[in-house]
Structure 1
Amino acid sequence: MLNVFTLEAGKLKGRLVQDGDLADGSLQLPRPVWVDLEDPTEEEKDWIQARFGLVLPADIVDEDLEESARFYEEDNGELHMRSDFLIDADKGHDEQGSRSVRVAFILHENVLFSVHSEDLPVFRLLRLRARRIPALIEDAKDVLLKLYDADAEYSADALEGIYDSLEKVSQRVLKEAVNDVAAGEALTAIAREEDLNGRIRRNVMDTRRALSFLMRSRMLNAEQFEDARQILRDIDSLDSHTAFLFDKINFLMDATVGFININQNRIIKIFSVASVALLPPTLIASVYGMNFKFMPELEWELGYPFALGLMAFSVITPFLYFRRKGWL
């Protein structure tokens, strides 16, 4: 999918380019500021090369790139950046779960090219804002900065979602009786939020590296440089939130596991009490079952009632003692 964005009256206007438009060679577009490629085809790559003289590498969105190869500047002035953007499954009800998607940026002759494998909520958010807010974007570097700004905001919204989810888990674990089923559901929810929190922390770290690289490249004007610094300050404010959430997640995890241990200990205690209480009648039954010369049950008329009564007494007495001690 190929989207070409141009500036008209201070607003970002996009056009979806179909494969048929590329095939006949009649496509004529004004100079864009942003070309967004989602899972590009060979025809779209060939058109980019013919129209802009830019060759997209085959491994442009490869996940296995070395860290040193993610941010660099070519001799001809091309700026290459590869950043990870977050997808929060809870917001979009995505069945694949929360994940990070690698996006490749190339700043070539004042045109920003972005390549990614699937549509991203941050990109949709920027497109919506740029169509509604005049003068939000003036050039390709503004597009890149606004994407990182929207990414930081999206991460902050995801952190708020984690707060809400953990609050529900807290009410369920700390204010209600927790059985094994409820504890298992709580552990599942906590593990899911822990995974998302870790992804958010990794995402903001990656965004911080990308902004630092942009600031060191000296390609930003004074206003853009200040915008980048403000985004970095916003990202720094998220670190304390992620650290607090990690502590809260660990506390809820320990509390839930503790309730599971309590439930298991309660079951073990029942078996322990039962085994201790049933030991005396078992001893009495075994004694009365010995091969005496004169069996009490036969030689004594009250043998059986006495044996049964003694066994009942030996069972009741330990239970009364355990109850008095508070062990039941």
Structure 2
Amino acid sequence: MIHYYAQDGGVLHASAGQPGVAIPAATLWIDLMDPEPEEAAFIGQSLGVEIPSREAIVEIEETSRLYQHEGTLYMNATLVSGLREQRPISSDVMFVVAPDYLVTVRYANLPFFEYLEDKFLREPETHSSSEQIFLSLCGSVVDHIADMLELMQRELDDMSGAVFSEERGAAPQPKGSRADLQQVVKRLGRNNSGLVKLRESLISMGRVLDYSNAWSELWLSEPGLDRSRSIERDVRSLVDYVAKMFDEIAFLLSATLGLIDIEQNSIIKVFSIAAVLFLPPTLVGTVYGMNFRSMPELDWAFGYPVALGLMVVSAILPYAWFKWKGWF
């Protein structure tokens, strides 16, 4: 699918395109969303550039992801989507940047692309060239990642409060509390997975910005270069923030697993105490359950109540001992 973004009255407006139909005048941005081979070939022939295939875009070698050919920059970034729906997916986006136009090739719906259309209407004066559109798109990507990190941080704060709340340590835990901790472990795992993909996107965007800055004389103005460096600084600060969040997740995971172990040990402790309490009565019952002929107590009139009394006393004494020691 081809989308053209051309200036009309100083504002970028979107229109759909078809292979064989001329590119509208004053087009600054061409967005290829899951393009068919004939669509990519048409745009490439119309602009005199090579539009990489999907197989070429997903290659991991840096020379295939970042390169320059005849004054046109080809830069590939791996971006994440679907975090709000808890289904994070990484997809590759190719930026083909020249002084007169920007071409993006992508194979997934990415929210930060949709944000731009609103920005075109609100700030038309800042989207009047290919470099401004490219930098605005990069800024939208970084802003979206920052928003996702803020959501994750709030969720981590909520989980931290649930794990380390005073009520959990001061009162007996209700039924299902261990299941709650298991849910915390699952949530931490989901956050860690999303964080990995966000870090990958940040590192990828950092490489794209660094590479575009290195070739700034081909297409970037001085204000554009300053803005690009500002976005790059934001990327570096977010990478540091992600590292801090990884440490927090690791700590919460370790603490949660420790609490689960403590609760499991408490259950085992109850079973161990119960076994010790019932062991002496069991021993008494076992002795007097034997049927040997020469057992003096068999003909004793008080043998039965005495045996029952021994069982009760043998259970009470260990209980009193444990209570005195404060073991439960």
Mark yes or no: TM-score above 0.5: yes
In 1, Cα distance between the equivalents of 2:106 and 2:54? Answer: 11
Deviations 1:268-292 (A, max 9, x none): 1011111222221222223223454
Q: Which amino acid aligns with 1:186?
A: V
Tell me, yes or no, if structure 1 residue 324 matches structure 2 residue 324.
yes
Compared CA separation, residues 202 and 211, structure 1 to 2 (3 A) = same
User: 2:37 — aligned with what?
Assistant: 42
Tell me, yes or no, if structure 1 residue 89 matches structure 2 residue 73.
no
In 1, Cα distance between the equivalents of 2:134 and 2:9? Answer: 20
User: 2:58 — aligned with what?
Assistant: 63
> Do the aligned partners of 2:67 and 2:74 also contact (CA within 8 Å) in 1?
yes
Identity across aligned pairs (percent)?
33
User: 2:131 — aligned with what?
Assistant: 141
Q: Which amino acid aligns with 2:204?
A: D
> Do the aligned partners of 1:12 and 1:131 also contact (CA within 8 Å) in 2?
yes
Tell me, yes or no, if structure 1 residue 103 matches structure 2 residue 93.
yes
- Match of residue 208, structure 1, among 202, 206, 209: 206
In 1, Cα distance between the equivalents of 2:237 and 2:40? Answer: 39
Q: Which amino acid aligns with 1:82?
A: N
In 1, Cα distance between the equivalents of 2:239 and 2:53? Answer: 35
User: 1:51 — aligned with what?
Assistant: 46
User: 1:72 — aligned with what?
Assistant: 67
Aligned length: 318
1:59 shift after superposition: 3.6
User: 1:272 — aligned with what?
Assistant: 272
In 1, Cα distance between the equivalents of 2:127 and 2:66? Answer: 23
> Do the aligned partners of 1:130 and 1:137 also contact (CA within 8 Å) in 2?
yes
Tell me, yes or no, if structure 1 residue 197 matches structure 2 residue 192.
no
1:160 shift after superposition: 0.6
* Unaligned residue ranges in structure 2 (runs of 5+): none
Q: Which amino acid aligns with 1:141?
A: E
> Do the aligned partners of 1:61 and 1:82 also contact (CA within 8 Å) in 2?
no
User: 2:164 — aligned with what?
Assistant: 174
Tell me, yes or no, if structure 1 residue 6 matches structure 2 residue 1.
no
In 2, Cα distance between the equivalents of 1:276 and 1:121? Answer: 62
In 2, Cα distance between the equivalents of 1:318 and 1:274? Answer: 10
Q: Secondary structure, in 3 states, of the residue corresponding to 1:89?
A: coil
Tell me, yes or no, if structure 1 residue 29 matches structure 2 residue 56.
no
* Unaligned residue ranges in structure 1 (runs of 5+): none
In 1, Cα distance between the equivalents of 2:308 and 2:181? Answer: 44
Q: What is the correspondence of 1:209-228 to structure 2 with a 5 Å cutoff?
A: 209-218=207-216, 219=218, 220-228=220-228
Deviations 1:228-249 (A, max 9, x none): 1111121222133212212221
User: 1:160 — aligned with what?
Assistant: 150
Compared CA separation, residues 148 and 14, structure 1 to 2 (3 A) = same
In 2, Cα distance between the equivalents of 1:210 and 1:88? Answer: 22
> Do the aligned partners of 1:86 and 1:101 also contact (CA within 8 Å) in 2?
yes
> Do the aligned partners of 1:201 and 1:242 also contact (CA within 8 Å) in 2?
yes
> What is the CA RMSD across the aligned residues, in angstroms?
2.0
In 1, Cα distance between the equivalents of 2:55 and 2:132? Answer: 22
In 1, Cα distance between the equivalents of 2:213 and 2:57? Answer: 25
In 1, Cα distance between the equivalents of 2:157 and 2:25? Answer: 51
User: 1:114 — aligned with what?
Assistant: 104
1:61 shift after superposition: 5.7
> Do the aligned partners of 1:296 and 1:303 also contact (CA within 8 Å) in 2?
no
Which shows bigger deviation, 80-89 or 288-297?
288-297
Compared CA separation, residues 26 and 260, structure 1 to 2 (3 A) = closer
Q: Which amino acid aligns with 2:252?
A: L
In 1, Cα distance between the equivalents of 2:238 and 2:158? Answer: 22
> Do the aligned partners of 2:80 and 2:201 also contact (CA within 8 Å) in 1?
yes
1:185 shift after superposition: 1.0
In 2, Cα distance between the equivalents of 1:100 and 1:125? Answer: 19
1:214 shift after superposition: 0.7
> Do the aligned partners of 2:33 and 2:106 also contact (CA within 8 Å) in 1?
yes
In 2, Cα distance between the equivalents of 1:32 and 1:307? Answer: 100
